[in-house]
Amino acid sequence: MPDQLLFGMEVALNGLMAGVMYSLVALGFVLIFKASGIFNYAQGVMALFAAMTLVGIQNGQVPFAHLINATLGTDIHNFGWTVPALAAILLTVVVMAIFAWLVNKFVFSHLVNQEPIILFMATIGLAYFLEGVADLMWGSEIKTLDVGLPQGINDWLETTTFDAVGYGFFIDNLDIVATIIAALLVLGLILFSQYTKQGRALRAVADDHQAALSVGISLNFIWVLVWSIAGFVALVAGIMWGAKSGVQFSLSLIALKALPVLMLGGFTSIPGAIIGGLIIGVGEKLFEFAIGAPYLGGATENWFAYVLALIFLVFRPQGLFGEKIIERV
Partner 1 sequence: MKKLGTLTVAALCAAAPAMAELVIPDLSYRTGPYAAGGIPFSDGYQDYFTLLNERDGGIGGEPIRVIECETGYNTEKGVECYESTKGEGALVYQPLSTGITYQLIPKAEADGIPIHTMGYGRTSAVNGEVFNNVFNYPANYWDAASVAVNYLLEQNDGSLDGKTIALVYHNSAYGKEPIRTLNALGEKHGFELTEIAVDHPGQEQKSQWLQIRRERPDYVLMWGWGVMNQVAIQEAANVRYPMDQFIGNWWAGAEHDVTPAGDAADGYLSLNMNTINPDYPVFEEIRAQVIEPGMGAGDGSNVGKVLYTRGMYAAMLAAEAIAKAQEIHGVTDITPAQMRDGMAALEMTETRMKELGAPNIGPVFAVSCQNHGGSGEGLVQRWNASAGAFEPLTGFITPDASIIEPLVQEDSLAYAAENNITPACAE
Q: Which of 97, 192, 198, 248 binds partner 1 (CB under 8 A)?
A: 248
- Asked whether the beta carbons of 264 and 284 are under 8 A apart, the reply is no
Q: Which of residues 159-178 bind partner 1 (CB under 8 A)?
A: 170, 172
| Closest approach of partner 1 to the CB of residue 72, in Å | 12
Other C-beta atoms closer than 10 Å to the C-beta of 191 total 11
Residue 75, amino acid: D
Q: Which of residues 173-232 bind partner 1 (CB under 8 A)?
A: none
| Closest approach of partner 1 to the CB of residue 141, in Å | 6
| Closest approach of partner 1 to the CB of residue 172, in Å | 5
Residue 285, amino acid: K
| Closest approach of partner 1 to the CB of residue 79, in Å | 17
Q: Which of 245, 310, 311, 317 binds partner 1 (CB under 8 A)?
A: 245
Nearer to partner 1 among residue 209 and residue 285 (C-beta) = 285
Nearer to partner 1 among residue 66 and residue 200 (C-beta) = 66
| Closest approach of partner 1 to the CB of residue 6, in Å | 10
- Asked whether the beta carbons of 285 and 301 are under 8 A apart, the reply is yes
d(CA 244, CA 46) in angstroms, rounded, equals: 18
Q: Which of the ranges 89-97, 242-250, 264-272, 308-316 carries the binding residues for partner 1, by CB under 8 A?
A: 242-250
Nearer to partner 1 among residue 52 and residue 93 (C-beta) = 52
- Asked whether the beta carbons of 240 and 174 are under 8 A apart, the reply is yes
Q: Does residue number 59 form part of the binding site for partner 1 (CB under 8 A)? A: no
Q: Which of residues 10-29 bind partner 1 (CB under 8 A)?
A: 10-11, 14-15, 17-18, 21
Q: Which of residues 280-319 bind partner 1 (CB under 8 A)?
A: 285, 288-289, 292-293, 297-299, 301-302
| Closest approach of partner 1 to the CB of residue 323, in Å | 30
| Closest approach of partner 1 to the CB of residue 250, in Å | 3
Q: Which of residues 134-153 bind partner 1 (CB under 8 A)?
A: 135, 140-142, 144-146, 151-153
Nearer to partner 1 among residue 19 and residue 231 (C-beta) = 19
Which residues are paired to 172 by β-bridges? 153
| Closest approach of partner 1 to the CB of residue 153, in Å | 6
Residues that bind partner 1 (CB under 8 A): 7, 10-11, 14-15, 17-18, 21, 66, 69, 73, 77, 131-132, 135, 140-142, 144-146, 151-153, 170, 172, 241, 244-246, 248-254, 257, 285, 288-289, 292-293, 297-299, 301-302
